């Protein structure tokens, strides 16, 4: 009996211990977890590599962004699971660099870089920028804006339900770049010398160094601007020392494309020099406008000459200088074609100022079978400009009209004209005889 009673009590104890163990297992966490009670993202930024740029430069600014956020406190066994994001992790990070007025223009939009964990994690970004040609030397702070989210707290609403809360944050950090001093080209004067389409001439420049840098071993360059018809023949001129505020005068030979018209065309000027660090650099180019005369135009202002078919004669063609410049030793040449033959198709016109005219005379002959109509002939003017360049004008049309030949007189008309002529001659003789006899009788 005693044995049986002991067995019953032992069973009861075993059942109780089992239930107690199960309840403890339900209340206790499945595994140890960590809860972080402090800390947040902490950013810093700096330029990587080159941080000095020159005016007019297309620059690439490389930045490193660092998250130095540290977890200040943590607690173990506070949750049945660990939180997914630490409070020092910046999530969904967007980083943008802004311009600093008109001196530095940032061309790259803000960049999405994802998540940046704490404890010194870094990301590197590149931003494209344009440094203004008019930027002065010095330091320029650029605002770097970092937008992100970070974990604020985790709430366990139920045994298997967790609520994560995130705060939005925005940090603005200054990133400083430096613009180096540089020689700047300021064109004070640009005087063209005999610039006409299809010819060669000169450009006289007076240039000032408007920058803060002193240029040594300086070379002033004249550069063609795109497809401008002004094409430098002599493109470089050594000027030596070019101090800040100093001026130099340069003269360059250029050629002008034949298709140039009466207008102003661009040309670029730049200076290559040795800076204070002993480096050879080139200044930003300065674009200037230079007036160019188009090819001299001519027109025929004389009436249309006429020639009867089957005859020869000299015609007079009057040319006018419709251009803007004086031409020298001009000669007109006309190209013949059937049914008109031109014996001498060249004529000297001489010197013609703008608006002046000159006459050209040509010996022509019309075929007897030529149609009675107006014919157009091509002519051109060959001349020299003020610098002695030989030029030829565009085609100047010359119109010549062929008219019917005069009809031959009839036989009756011919006899009548002869008889009338004889009568007139006889009367004149008779009058002369009467006068002579009258004088003799008076004696």
Do 93 and 168 sit in the same domain of this protein?
A: yes
- Mean pLDDT for 136-148 is 92
Tokens of 108: 């790259």
In a domain, 174, yes or no: yes
Q: What is the spatial distance between Cα 143 and Cα 397, in angstroms, rounded to a whole number?
A: 69
431 vs 11, higher pLDDT: 431
In a domain, 2, yes or no: no
In a domain, 113, yes or no: yes
pLDDT of 158 higher than 90: no
In a domain, 215, yes or no: yes
Confidence of residue 28 (pLDDT cuts 50, 70, 90): very low
Tokens of 386: 């003020």
* pLDDT of 3: 41
The share of the chain scoring above pLDDT 90, in percent, equals 59
Displacement of CA 412 from its chain's centroid (Å)? 83
Displacement of CA 120 from its chain's centroid (Å)? 46
Rounded alpha-carbon distances, angstroms, from residue 236 to 232, 288, 313, 328: 9, 17, 58, 32
Confidence of residue 19 (pLDDT cuts 50, 70, 90): very low
Do 281 and 415 sit in the same domain of this protein?
A: no
- Give the DSSP H/E element, type plus range, for residue 433: helix 411-442
Do 203 and 276 sit in the same domain of this protein?
A: yes
Do 357 and 421 sit in the same domain of this protein?
A: no
- Classified as helix, coil or strand, 17 is helix
In a domain, 16, yes or no: no
In a domain, 22, yes or no: no
Q: What are phi and psi of 422, to 5 degrees?
A: -65, -45
List b or e across 370-399, with b for residues whose CB sees 16 or more CB atoms inside 10 angstroms: beeeebebebbbbbebeeebebebeebebe
Q: pLDDT tens, 239-274?
A: 999 999 999 999 999 999 999 999 999 999 999 999
List b or e across 212-241, with b for residues whose CB sees 16 or more CB atoms inside 10 angstroms: ebbbbebbbbbeebeebbbebeeeebebee
Q: What is the spatial distance between Cα 361 and Cα 379, in angstroms, rounded to a whole number?
A: 13
In a domain, 139, yes or no: yes
Tokens of 426: 């006889």
Do 148 and 257 sit in the same domain of this protein?
A: no
Looking at the structure of the chain, the number of domains it has is 4
Confidence of residue 31 (pLDDT cuts 50, 70, 90): very low
* pLDDT of 29: 42
Confidence of residue 30 (pLDDT cuts 50, 70, 90): very low
Do 341 and 385 sit in the same domain of this protein?
A: yes
Do 311 and 258 sit in the same domain of this protein?
A: no
- Residue ranges making up the domain that contains 399: 298-403
Do 240 and 274 sit in the same domain of this protein?
A: yes
Q: Quick one: DSSP state of residue 233?
A: S
**Domain ends where: 120, 151, 179?**
179
- Mean pLDDT for 278-282 is 91
Do 66 and 133 sit in the same domain of this protein?
A: yes
Task: Point out which residues pair with 264 in neighbouring strands.
Answer: 291
**Domain ends where: 117, 148, 179?**
179
* pLDDT of 9: 53
In a domain, 99, yes or no: yes
**Domain ends where: 249, 267, 292?**
292
- The enclosing domain of 286 has a CATH number of 2.60.40.10
Q: What is the spatial distance between Cα 188 and Cα 325, in angstroms, rounded to a whole number?
A: 26
């Amino acid at each position: 009996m005693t044995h049986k009673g002991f067995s019953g009590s032992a069973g009861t104890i075993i059942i109780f211990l089992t239930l107690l163990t199960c309840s403890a297992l339900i209340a206790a966490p499945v595994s140890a977890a960590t809860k972080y009670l402090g800390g947040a993202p902490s950013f810093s930024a700096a330029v990587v590599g080159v941080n000095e740029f020159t005016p007019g430069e297309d620059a690439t600014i490389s930045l490193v962004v660092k998250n130095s956020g540290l977890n200040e406190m943590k607690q173990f066994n506070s949750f049945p699971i660990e939180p997914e994001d630490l409070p020092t992790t910046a999530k969904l990070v967007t980083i943008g660099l802004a311009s600093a007025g008109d001196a530095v223009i940032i061309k790259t939009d803000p960049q999405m870089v994802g998540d940046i964990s704490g404890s010194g994690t870094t990301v590197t970004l590149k931003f494209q920028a344009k440094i203004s040609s008019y930027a002065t030397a010095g330091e320029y702070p650029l605002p770097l804006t970092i937008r992100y989210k970070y974990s604020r707290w985790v709430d366990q609403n139920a045994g298997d339900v967790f609520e994560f809360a995130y705060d939005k944050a925005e940090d603005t950090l200054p990133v400083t770049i430096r613009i180096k001093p540089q020689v700047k080209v300021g064109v004070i004067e640009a005087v063209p010398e005999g610039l006409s389409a299809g010819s060669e001439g000169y450009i006289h420049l007076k240039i000032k160094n408007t920058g803060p840098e002193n240029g040594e071993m300086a070379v002033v360059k004249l550069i063609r601007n795109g497809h401008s018809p002004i094409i430098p023949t002599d493109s470089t001129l050594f000027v030596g020392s070019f101090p800040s505020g100093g001026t130099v005068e340069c003269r360059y030979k250029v050629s002008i494309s034949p298709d140039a018209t009466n207008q102003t065309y661009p040309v670029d000027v730049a200076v290559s020099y040795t800076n204070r660090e002993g480096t050879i650099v080139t200044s930003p180019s300065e674009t200037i406008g230079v007036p160019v005369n188009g090819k001299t135009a001519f027109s025929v202002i004389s009436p249309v000459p006429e020639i009867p078919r089957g005859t020869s004669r000299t015609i007079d063609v009057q040319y006018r200088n419709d251009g803007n410049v004086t031409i020298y030793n001009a000669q007109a040449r006309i190209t013949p074609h059937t049914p008109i033959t031109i014996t001498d198709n060249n004529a000297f016109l001489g010197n013609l100022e703008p608006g002046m005219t000159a006459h050209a005379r040509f010996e022509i002959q019309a075929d007897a079978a030529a149609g009675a109509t107006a014919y157009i002939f091509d002519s051109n003017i060959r001349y020299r400009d003020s610098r002695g360049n030989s030029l030829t004008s565009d085609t100047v049309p010359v119109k010549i009209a062929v008219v019917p030949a005069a009809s031959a007189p009839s036989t009756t008309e011919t006899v009548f004209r002869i008889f009338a002529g004889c009568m007139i001659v006889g009367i004149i003789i008779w009058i002369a005889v009467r006068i002579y006899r009258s004088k003799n009788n008076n004696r």
